[in-house]
Structure 1
Amino acid sequence: MKFSLSLKYNSVPEWQDKYINYPGLKKLIYSLQAKQLESSGSTSAAKESSSSSLAEPSSAARRYIPSHPRKWLRKGKDATETTTVELEDMATLTPEDVFLEKLTEELEKIDEFYKSQEHELYIQYDELIQALEISSIHLIDRDNLLNDNKSVLSNKSSVAQEIIHAAKSFNLDIENDYCDVMSSRTRMELDEDEDDDDRSHSDNSALLSDADLNMKTQKKITLKKQTTQLFVDLSQLKSFIELNRIGFSKIAKKFDKLLNDNIRDRLFESNEFFTDSYTFQLNTLTHLDNKLNNLIEVYASLTGRLDDLEGCKTELRSYLRELIVWERTTVWKEMLGMEARTNDLKGATTNISQQNELFQLEYYSWPLPYKVNLYFTKWENFKIPKFLNTSRTYKLAIIITITGILLGVKTFHDEAQHRCMALLACVALLWATEAIPLFVTSLLCPLLIVMFKVSKDSEGNVYGAADASSYILSQMWSSTIMVLLGGFTLAAALSKYNIAKIAASWILAGAGTKPRNILLSIMGVALFLSMWISNVASPVLCYSLIQGVLRTLDTDSPFAKALILGVALSSNIGGMPSPIASPQNIVAMEYLANYNVGWGQWLGVAIPVGIVALFLVWILLILTFKINDAKVMKYKPIKEKLTIKQWYVIFVFIGTIILWCVESQIESEFGSAGLIAVFPMVLFFGTGLLATSDINNFPWSIVILAMGSLALGKAVSSSGLLATIATALQRRISDYSIHVILIIFGILILVIGTFVSHTVSAIIIIPLVQQIGEALPNAQSSTAILIFGTALLSSCGMGLASSGFPNVTAISMTDEVGNRYLSVTNFITRGVPASFLCYFVVITVGYGIMKATLHG
């Protein structure tokens, strides 16, 4: 394995930027080599320079750092900037000077970080030693002393004295040969009451004894956990030294090879380069090894296994391996994902026979009773392609049949509405059954809309094919799509510059290790973000926050499914709490402004409704997914100083959110939220913080799916189909009470929002409920309640994968090799009950608050 990969696999993720910058140093070497070749005046001059270099080391090599002042190096520059500036001074510096200067800078960085980590961990070590000394925990007596060959302590350091001193209070038996301070074995007598010896239950009992419940036992368990964690942390600190030392040796070898030098033998093999470095001193490593060995002794004493130190060492190292496997799985999956994107693992072929299978159709074959000879061919068997005998083919056949029946049987007097009904059924069934991929159905939408002739102009005339094509294609690129791309851009920047990971570490650290708490915390974050940046961008950002958890889980893990589905459902609920959370709320606020309903009333009603709905959906998910079996290790918050680039990303992120929040106030300047989304795209891609590869990695299938949903919504709206259905309903319920009307229209809104669009349902239904409300007693408050309730209910439709942008984003979530986490069945079985739970909350809790607030 190449060292660059070994470094990535074995490094501690939180310390990633503290290791030797091996890739950057390699680039520097290649640049120095190219510069040296360019500056070589002649072959003889090059040879003379080479021989001189080998015969007499440069001043930099003799002094380990360049003699030239490091004025060209400025703190705060990244590797690329530093390398570029160094190369500009090649006229006055030799390649060796430049390279050793950069190595010295790396050494200082490593030294500084190691000292801080060592200081912090050694404080924890001292605290553990003090706890061992002051505790009155009595351990098991040992009759036999340990032999030298069983002891893992190999150095009579002052640190060893600490552990032996602490061992006295624990009745630890340590051999006199490896510790001068002990001249004989000591024991502490156990002072127990007589009733402690009277066992009232057998050893086979499931009841806990007094020994299990007393404070001494509990203290011992706590100290054991502290010892294990400290052993893991110190072991990782030791690996930090080893990896960096190997890195320096490897990069020096590469420098010698490409620039015909010998600094590896002169400076690194002889350890002269590390003379002034604390990290790579022999005493530093010895001191660290002693503490690790002492911790093994402590662990052995706490577990009553002083005669099995090697077994305790193996056990502690197993904890270390488990931690490394869990943490490094993120890196491994990232590498696997890169390979999958490069080579398309699902379709990869490794030999000619597999390629032939890929190119050729497979058939079912039956022999014919006699051969059929034709002029150009001969039939001996009756063949049917195997793809015709699949569930996908049967689904397509059924959907085509249903669509044909709906086209043949007249369902509405208006021909355009009649055809639109068939179109709506066809697309809804394709999305629901996934007979073809979801984004392919979306691509099919504009074609079917034009062919079915369902779009009408403002005067009610059906568009011709050319006009319909221009109209429907123009509707597919909208402000919503721009908001979606803006959300992807923010998510990419947060992820690329590690901000999302830092935020996730703090969020998940507060949630603990219980899966249900983690699920609730991320659902709460999704709800809050949806309030302010819309439920279009919110799920994208939330999925970037939980990537660290998802990468440790399989795609069929119930907890992974619950997390992704929880974000989607809570983002749908997040479409309620604020007027800018979703497009339907903005539509509703335009109507409610005439009834003196502003931001205060909206927040007062919608926030309690959203919180109650969130808790009910959370309970639904933890009851229907077996998430308690998931093992999630406790997260440690990442504590690191943010760079200028990271602060820039945060500034743009917060600025974009603020602009989206005040979008209604600055509408005269920007027009829509979609144009505000241009700011982060320009500020990130224009400055080079995000590259072309980043935009290529956007989930474009989600964008296509969203565009298809918009096209269908526009077509259904322009045909007048939904308006006809709603008008027929209006004539039947005009005499009912306001609560009953809200309940009835709520069902209609759920259906429309689920199968078509939340926004479309609000656009169609709100004008109707306004007309009904104006005819009711207390028209002012009744109309406000109906419009408000309609807007809230339009966010409740979340039963299908195509029901709203959060669901579209969730169904498209895949792991690093393209396996999807969720299926349409997952959405139907959880989304439909969740829709009715939210519907119930709106017509009960929401209606009660609205009646009290808007009537008061």
Structure 2
Amino acid sequence: MKFSHSIQFNAVPDWSSHYLAYSGLKKLIYTLEKQTFGRETEDSDTERSVLITERADPDVVFKKALDKELQKIVKFYIEKEGEIFREIDVLARDMAEWERDVGAFDEQMGNPEMSNGSRSIGDALATFRIPSRRHCPDYDDSASDDDYEDESNTTGLLKRLKKRPSTIGRQSTYGGASRSGSRPGMRRRSSMTGLDDFQRMKRNALFDAQLSLAKRCVALFVSLRELKSYIQLNKTGFAKALKKYDKTLMRSLRQPYMENVVNQAYHFQESTMRNVDAKIATVEQMYARLATDGDIEVARRELRLHLREHVVWERNTVWREMIGIERKAQAANMGLKRTLLGSDPEPGEERLQGDDPYQVGGKTFHTPLGNVTCPSWLFSGNFFVLLACLCIFVLLLTIPMMKSEVQQNCLAMLVFVSLLWATEVIPLFVTSLLIPFLVVLLGVVRSDQKPYDKLGAKDSAKYVFAAMWTPVIMLLLGGFGIAAALSKYDIAKIMATFVLSKAGTRPRTVLLTNMFVAWFLSMWISNVAAPVLCYSIIQPLLRNLPVDSKFPKALILGIALSSNIGGMASPIASPQNIIAIQNMSPSPNWLQWFFITTPVCIVSIVIIWLFLLITFRPSRGTVIVPIRPTKDKFTGVQYFVSIVTIVTIGLWCVSHQLEDVFGDMGVIAVIPLVLFFGTGILTKEDFNNFLWTIIILAAGGLSLGKAVNSSGLLHTIAKAVEEHVGGMSLYGVLVTFCVMILVVATFISHTVAALIILPIVQQVGVRMNDSHPNLLVMGSALMCSAAMGLPTSGFPNMTAIMTENPHSGQRYLRVKHFLTRGVPSSILTFFVVVTIGYGLMRISGL
């Protein structure tokens, strides 16, 4: 969570305006950065321009803002501390007075003539506890607010005892004995009975006073802990603001300002914190004397329980309202952006507009039996697309097109699943989960041995589920583990910022360096996470560019296109590579893969870079702010993660030479998973955050390929395709498949294109006279990553088109930028793959 959000949601709601204005300081830092490294433009944000009216020393300006915040915080703290400490002094006096009254009453009750066999109030108080509200079965929720003051800090038992007269240490009396006054015909009470009533009234008054004091102890304990949190949160805010200032403007203000100013302020001094801790201990002792028979540990536990309940109450009421207000504001901003840009709402934005984010819309029909509400998705376009897919599925099941019933059913399943993947009417991974169900239900699996009889439902289930979990899936998991560790411990970011800091200030050099950094990161942390990391690194650079500069468009588009190219760079860079390896026998080792893809990627990126320079001309009117490397040194954990990653990749590179030891690359993938998760470097939360939808998608595709191959349908389709390409050479077949995949993968997901087409490519390659199935599969897999002509052609493109200018809130890129630059880039990469890539694949022996 960002600290601006943390300080918002951890602040005491009533004190929210008295905390450090962290967001305002961040805006000031960015304005100072632009003043120092960039140049102001005429259409700069008005709010930012008024923050700094002249080119003053940034340190002086920022110190002045910090001093103002510090004075505000000190003034509020002194006022609040005095108020709470005075309440503690008053409580201490009331406590002493109550204890004197209890002592006097005990002495009076100690007189045998007056005690009447009742135990003293001190003994009764010794058995008294204040449990949590949820443990009080008699809690009356209908009581009015007037009955209980400070209800948020009062437990259910406190409320119950305060509302009803106490019966502790009291003998049962006949009806009406506790009432004041008399009724006609009632027997006159004896003098001893009147004395007992007076004792009961006195005892009840002391109990009420005790409960009131206990409530005040709880309230003061909560206030003191909030005061302590106020100190800590603001001190952390000053440290983070100064750290951001130093990092952004390359200064060293943090240490002297923290030591000479912040730490010297009254409320940040160690003596102040010790004083607060002493007051907390005093309240704990008073509560212990009141409620836990002097047991200080039990008193602390109960007070912390009250504090926890108070925080839970705030989170369920005040914080929820704050989050709701923020969501509404965000929805309003999105609506304004759509109005300004004239664009359609993004997926999922409609839900944000309503008051209830979980409300599901629908259409209501009036019937004789009452109103019937149908879900809104029944009337959407996706429902009719799904209905059309189902109709096609049923038609293919009923209309005979294949000689074998098994192949007929498998064809229907293949077309149905491919349509669901291509249209995305339901999530892609859900379609993958549907595959084993259809495989077993339709009976499309045959025995691997002659006479290739159809397997029963039980054997089919074993077959298809075994196909979903293969060494290739373990390789994918190992890649996710390495990516998670590199990202979590900022190793990828440190490497990227170090390289980018050497790029200088020439726009063309900065653009090329960023493209190669995005490509390299895509090799190891996937081409999904790489562009996100790159866009976060270049934010300081984008903030200081003029609004009319074309360099941001070239830079963002260049990172997206190079990240797509990076998807072919290593076997774990993208899911389509995993699918390709599954369809290659024998699968290539990592050295072969790098031998082919590294030159192809480098040449493609350089060509795309030149194309972007020619079309955008980003150097005009552009002043680059150099990206500054991080000053943090490598820690032991970062060294350990780096060593494990390098060793794992090295073993993958020589996996064929180590087949007698490990058997498969999937087994090697277990090494980083065990070391990272076993040592606690990665946690179960990191494991849960893996892209399990991608894993399920890949597993479903593998099972579909196995089923289509087992049924004989793949052999039949490959034979039909072979008839059309039968007269072509190996190179001609490669070009044909690459063109087909380039077109298909531009409009549908790269992974889906690989799932559908690569098994067919492999079978066609096997049946050719010049048999090179691995070469055809490898070339086709590379073209899956090279399809980048539309914003929806891949994850990097989707991330790029959603990147917005922080000043204007408008997107940097439009669809036309992908059509005019992405489509030509895809075609240029196609020529690189079918020329340089083809030659390298023949040299490598594929």
After TM superposition, the score normalised by the length of structure 1 is 0.50
The 1:417/1:434 distance shift into structure 2, 3 A limit, reads same
Task: Determine helix, strand or coil for the equivalent of 1:363.
Answer: strand
How much has 1:686 moved relative to structure 2?
A: 1.5
Please give the alpha-carbon distance, in whole angstroms, between the structure 2 residues aligned to 1:601 and 1:354.
56
1:569 lines up with 2:564 in the alignment: yes
The superposition leaves residues 657-715 of structure 1 with CA deviations (integer Å, 9 ceiling, x where unpaired) of 22222222222222222222222222222122222332233333333333333333333
Distance 1:443 1:456 in 2: 21
Q: Give, in whole Å, the separation in 1 of the partners of 2:437 and 2:512.
A: 42
Question: Are 2:411 and 1:421 aligned?
Answer: yes
Match of 1:655 in 2: 647
Residues 492, 401 of structure 1: alpha-carbon distance in 2 compared, 3 angstrom cutoff: same
- Aligned with 1:467 (options 459, 468, 476): 459
Q: What CA RMSD, in Å, does the superposition of the two structures yield over aligned residues?
A: 6.0
Is it true that 1:255 corresponds to 2:273 in the alignment? yes
Aligned twin of 1:24: none
Q: Paired residue for 1:40?
A: none
Which letter maps to 2:604? A
**Residue matched to 1:432:** 422
Task: Please state how far the C-alpha of 1:570 moved relative to its aligned partner.
Answer: 1.1
How many Å separate the matches in 1 of 2:507 and 2:409?
48
> In structure 2, do the counterparts of structure 1 residues 485 and 618 end up closer, same or farther at CA, with 3 Å as the change threshold?
farther
Give the length in aligned residue pairs: 545
* AA at the equivalent of 2:599: P
- Structure 1 residues 823, 472: closer, same or farther in 2, change over 3 A? farther
Inter-partner Cα distance in structure 1 for 2:396 and 2:822: 28
Query: Aligned pair 1:727/2:704, yes or no?
Result: no
Partner SS, residue 690 of structure 1? coil
Cα distance between partner residues in 1 of 2:614 and 2:433: 37
Code of the residue aligned with 2:362 in structure 1: it is: E
The equivalences for 1:218-617 within 5 A come to: 233=251, 244-245=262-263, 249-250=267-268, 252=270, 255-260=273-278, 354-355=355-356, 358-359=358-359, 361-363=361-363, 377=370, 385-459=375-449, 460-511=452-503, 520-521=512-513, 523-525=515-517, 527-528=519-520, 538-539=526-527, 542-543=530-531, 545-546=533-534, 548-549=536-537, 562=557, 565-566=560-561, 568-574=563-569, 582=577, 607-616=598-607
Whole-angstrom CA distance in 2 between matches of 1:707 and 1:825: 35
Distance (whole Å) between structure 2 residues aligned to residue 737 and residue 524 of structure 1: 35
Q: Give the counterpart letter for 2:568 in structure 1.
A: I
Alpha-carbon spacing, 1:635–1:788, altered in 2? closer, same or farther (3 Å): same
Distance 1:520 1:685 in 2: 36
Aligned twin of 2:678: 686
Residue pairs, 1:11-410, within 5 angstroms: 233=251, 244-245=262-263, 249-250=267-268, 252=270, 255-260=273-278, 354-355=355-356, 358-359=358-359, 361-363=361-363, 377=370, 385-410=375-400
Question: Is 2:576–2:755's contact at 8 Å kept on the other side of the alignment?
Answer: no
Corresponding position: 1:793 with 2:785: no
Contact 1:255 1:261 in 2 (8 A): no
The within-5 A match list for 1:626-775 is: 634-731=626-723, 733-747=725-739, 756=752, 758=754, 764-766=760-762, 768-769=764-765, 771-774=767-770
Seq. identity, %: 33
Alpha-carbon distance between aligned partners in 1 of 2:582 and 2:655, rounded to the nearest angstrom = 14
Whether the 8 Å contact between 1:612 and 1:841 is mirrored in structure 2 is yes
Post-superposition offset of 1:417: 2.9
Deviation per residue, 1:495-531 (Å, 9 max, x gap) = 3323222122123334467887666545534655677
* C-alpha deviation, 1:748, in angstroms: 6.1
Which piece of structure 1 moves more, 3-12 or 491-500?
Answer: 3-12
After superposition, the C-alpha distances for 1:155-193 in whole angstroms (9 at most, x for unaligned) are: xxxxxxxxxxxxxxxxxxxxxxxxxxxxxxxxxxxxxxx
Instruction: State the one-letter code of the partner of 1:613.
Output: S
Quickly say closer, same or farther: Cα 1:694–1:513, change in 2 above 3 A: farther
Structure 2: which amino acid aligns with 1:430?
A: L
Give the distance between the partners of 1:681 and 1:751, measured in 2 at CA: 37
Between the aligned partners of 1:486 and 1:576, the Cα distance in structure 2 is 11
SS at match of 2:386: helix
**Paired residue for 1:841?**
832
**CA contact under 8 A between 1:811 and 1:822: conserved in structure 2?**
no
Residues 533-577 of structure 1 show CA distances to partners (whole Å, capped at 9, x for unaligned) of 6xxx543663574262488899xx977974674355213332599
Q: C-alpha displacement at 1:735, in angstroms?
A: 4.2
Deviation at 1:854, TM superposition (A): 8.3
| Alpha-carbon distance in structure 2 between the residues aligned to 1:757 and 1:444 | 18
Partner of 1:171: none
Distance (whole Å) between structure 1 residues aligned to residue 680 and residue 393 of structure 2: 49
Instruction: Please tell me the residue identity of whatever aligns with 1:609.
Output: V
User: For the Cα contact (< 8 Å) 1:800–1:828, is it kept in 2?
Assistant: no
Q: CA shift at 1:644, angstroms? A: 1.8
Q: 1:501 to 1:605 in 2, by over 3 A?
A: closer
- The answer on whether the counterparts of 1:798 and 1:834 sit within 8 Å (CA) in structure 2 is no
Change (3 A) 1:603 1:677: closer
**How many Å apart are 1:389 and its aligned residue?**
2.3
User: What is the alpha-carbon distance in structure 1 between the residues aligned to residue 554 and residue 456 of structure 2?
Assistant: 50
Contact (CA 8 Å) 2:715, 2:763: kept in 1 or not? no
- In the TM superposition, residue 647 of structure 1 has moved relative to its aligned partner by 1.6
1:349 & 1:435 partners in 2: Cα distance? Answer: 18
C-alpha separation in 1, matches of 2:405 and 2:843? 46
Give distance in 2, aligned partners of 1:600 and 1:677. Answer: 16
Unaligned runs of 5+ in 2: 1-6, 12-17, 34-95, 97-231, 281-318, 332-347, 544-551, 805-810
CA contact (8 A) 1:569 1:831 kept: no
Letter in 2 for 1:458: D
What whole-Å deviation, never above 9, does each CA across 1:83-137 have from its counterpart, x for those lacking one?
xxxxxxxxxxxxxxxxxxxx9xx99xx9xx99xx99xx9xxxxxxxxxxxxxxxx
- Report the CA distance between 1:260 and its aligned residue: 0.9
User: 2 CA distance for matches of 1:421 and 1:822?
Assistant: 41
Seen in structure 2, the aligned counterparts of structure 1 residues 655 and 466 have a Cα distance that, compared at 3 Å, is same
Q: Which amino acid aligns with 1:542?
A: A
The Cα of 1:428 is off from its aligned counterpart by 2.6
Q: CA deviation at 1:467?
A: 2.6
Tell whether the 8 Å contact from 1:364 to 1:383 is kept in structure 2 after alignment.
Answer: yes
C-alpha separation between the residues in 1 aligned to 2:831 and 2:351?
Answer: 55
Distance in 2 between residues matched to 1:787 and 1:793, nearest whole Å: 10
CA 1:605–1:704: 2 relative to 1, 3 Å:
closer
For 1:425-471, what per-residue CA distance to the aligned partner results, in whole angstroms no more than 9, with x for missing partners?
33233233322223333333332333343333314333333333332
Could you say if the C-alpha distance between residues 728 and 759 of structure 1 is closer, same or farther in structure 2, counting changes exceeding 3 Å? same
Shift in alpha-carbon separation, 1:518–1:737, aligned structure 2, 3 A: same
Shift of 1:481: 2.6
Change (3 A) 1:413 1:488: same
Judged with a 3 Å threshold, the aligned counterparts in structure 2 of structure 1 residues 564 and 822 are, in CA distance, closer, same or farther, namely farther
Q: Which residue identity does 2:714 align to in structure 1?
A: L
Deviation (angstroms), 1:636 = 0.5
Conserved 8 A contact 1:395-1:435: yes
CA contact (8 A) 1:800 1:827 kept: no
Retained in 2: the 8 A contact 1:7–1:243? no
* Closer, same or farther: CA 240–251 of 1 in aligned 2, 3 Å: closer
2:656 and 2:385 map into 1 onto residues whose CA distance is 45
